Structure 1
Amino acid sequence: MLDLLKLFTQVVEEQSFTATARHLGVSQPAVSNQMRALEDKLGVKLLLRRGKALVLTAEGEIVLRQARRILDNWDELLEQIGTAGPECSGLVRLGASHIPGEYLLPALLADFQHEFAKVQLKLVVGDSLEMANKVSEREVDFAVVGSSFDSEKLASEFWQWDELMLVLPEGHPLAGQREIRLSDLLPYPMIVREEGSGHRRALEETLAGLGLSLPDFRISLEAGSIEAIKNSVRADLGYSFISRSALGVSAEGMRVCRLQDINIRRGFYLVTQRHKPLPVSSQVCYTQIRNCKRSAVPAESGTGCLPRIKD
């Protein structure tokens, strides 16, 4: 029965019998037959096909929640009695906000999979609040996000620091100034991230500490991704603040600056369900990510625009 539940959860994750069969190294009809056997055992229909999509029935939603709980408990049992086996295997479902998911985790996950080749990884990227909700609803095992979430259901562990850098279009009137104060920016259009992002929360918290809020600024655009912000700055829609991690060597067409006497920092956090052990393979992945930290961003802030960074 455990094998049928594992198959069912994988079909739901993949949204495809064919992709599931490919990962398991079996035929597509074999997967279909196993799914039919599970439905026969339970006496209910679990999945419906709508066009090319697979949709859970109401009973399927219940079975999926319980199947994940049963499989997690089984992994925990094996870990506690020491029979998890010398090699990790299974599926690690990882959530991440945009900066960790797009710029920090890919290299770490590549290293992890080189070491644990039998583990399959699924990375879901969205804003920090969305990913925290996915952890809470058991849609992902854990998440790496730009805000701390501590509640009865969730626990957060600090991972590493990030810094938000001021970026200006190259032709911006302030681009040539040696020192830029926050008050200097008030007359000019500003681009911000969407609500729910850790990036926006860090900016709002810094402004609140200075007695300001976003409505005090001229918001020209609210964007849902860092790449959208970069391209909007290059197009001269306004200035913005971008994670140092996301700048890398791709800041062409922008001037990267620090504000005078202000440092906008935010942490990245590992979020899990409180009082709920991770499956064995997910715990190994969690531990490896937790132990791979960059140097912390220095607290002090410099002044003036930095040299242009070319691709």
Structure 2
Amino acid sequence: MDLHQLYVFTKVVEHKSFSKAAEDIFLSQSTVSSHIHSLEKTLNVNLFDRVGREIVLTPHGERLYQWALKILFLKEQALLDLNQGMTELRGMIRMSASSVPGQYLVPKMVKRYREKFPKATFHINQSSSKFVAEQVLNGSVDIGILGEKYENDKLHFIPLLKEKLVLVTSNQVPMMEKMTIKTITKYPFIMRNSASGTNAAIERVLKRNKIQKEDMNIIAYTDSVQSIIQFVMQDIGISIISEVAAREYAKHNSIKIYELNDFTEERYFYLVYNQNRTLSMIAKLFIDEAAKLI
């Protein structure tokens, strides 16, 4: 069993495509196919089922993928131990991020990480905090960056940045000096969708103050922080969002920021990974460096 064949195999699994894997590792598609065929012949098992134009891992393929990650990880550890090829480490990190960290933290983290490991590549998707945690749990991504913690024995959360939520309004809305969670119920409100970390924090504060969602004048729900800011700028409603997201717009006088006197909810942005999965060295090093990349 050849290490390079295992490496090619992992790339086909990650890309779910022979052609995309070939493009990623600068080989021809026929060479990739030949490596997989040789691996299947050596092991005397089928690693992929061809279903129409798609390829699907067989049970043998799923088991080999976990072993391949462990074997390649040991190889990379050996290189590091011998102080060789630190900057030569290459590979793809599959990441999912919720909207605020995805827009305001991840780009900076990727830039700083690639300054140290220039051959690292990233596949990043953006979704709600809840879905980010689910993707990490089911193994479809290596790492998640999100704004809410979900209890699960398999998930390990690393705090990256402490932040708070703030009230945002257009420049046209007259506000009192002391705003409370109760006083905002009379204003049209733009709410984040229920799977977001921001929504979970708002709901906790509402519950603590014995306010039902039905008591609020909610006129729209959205997944996007950018959409919320546009709603607010157009004076369609007010909202509660991450200070990290609001700060830049307030600095340019596009919106106003207020602190709610009884809204003491503070939260963290976290990195999350599945403790039961074997990650590549390039992904493990990102986890180790993450707090320094903010």
The reply to whether TM is greater than 0.5 is yes
Paired residue total:
285
Listed as ranges, the gaps of 5+ residues in structure 2 are: none
For 1:61 and 1:222, the matched residues in 2 are separated by 41
For 1:89 and 1:83, the matched residues in 2 are separated by 17
Superimposed CA distance per residue, residues 1-55 of structure 1 (whole angstroms, 9 cap, x where no aligned partner): 45444334423433554443332122233334444555665346534454xxxx3
Superimposed CA distance per residue, residues 43-95 of structure 1 (whole angstroms, 9 cap, x where no aligned partner): 46534454xxxx343xx263553343113321443466646953222222222
Pick closer, same or farther for the CA change 1:91–1:71 going to 2, 3 Å: farther
The equivalent residue for 2:63 is: 66
Identity of aligned residues (%): 25
**Are 1:201 and 2:200 matched, yes or no?**
yes
Residue 133 of structure 1: CA displacement?
A: 1.2
The equivalent residue for 1:26 is: 27
Listed as ranges, the gaps of 5+ residues in structure 1 are: 294-311
Q: How does 1:1-311 map to 2 (within 5 A)?
A: 1=1, 2-14=3-15, 16-35=17-36, 37=38, 42-43=45-46, 45-50=48-53, 55-57=54-56, 60=57, 62=59, 65-78=62-75, 82=81, 85-87=84-86, 88-172=89-173, 175-251=174-250, 253-276=254-277, 278-293=279-294
Superimposed CA distance per residue, residues 116-173 of structure 1 (whole angstroms, 9 cap, x where no aligned partner): 122222222211111111111111122111111332221222222121111112323x
TM-score, reference length from structure 1: 0.80
Pick closer, same or farther for the CA change 1:248–1:31 going to 2, 3 Å: farther
What value does the CA root-mean-square deviation take over the aligned residues? 2.7
> AA paired with 1:69?
Q
For 1:22 and 1:14, the matched residues in 2 are separated by 10
| 1:249 counterpart SS class | helix
Residue 285 of structure 1: CA displacement?
A: 0.7
Pick closer, same or farther for the CA change 1:111–1:165 going to 2, 3 Å: same
For 1:64 and 1:129, the matched residues in 2 are separated by 29
| 2:249 counterpart SS class | coil
> AA paired with 1:26?
L
| 1:182 counterpart SS class | coil
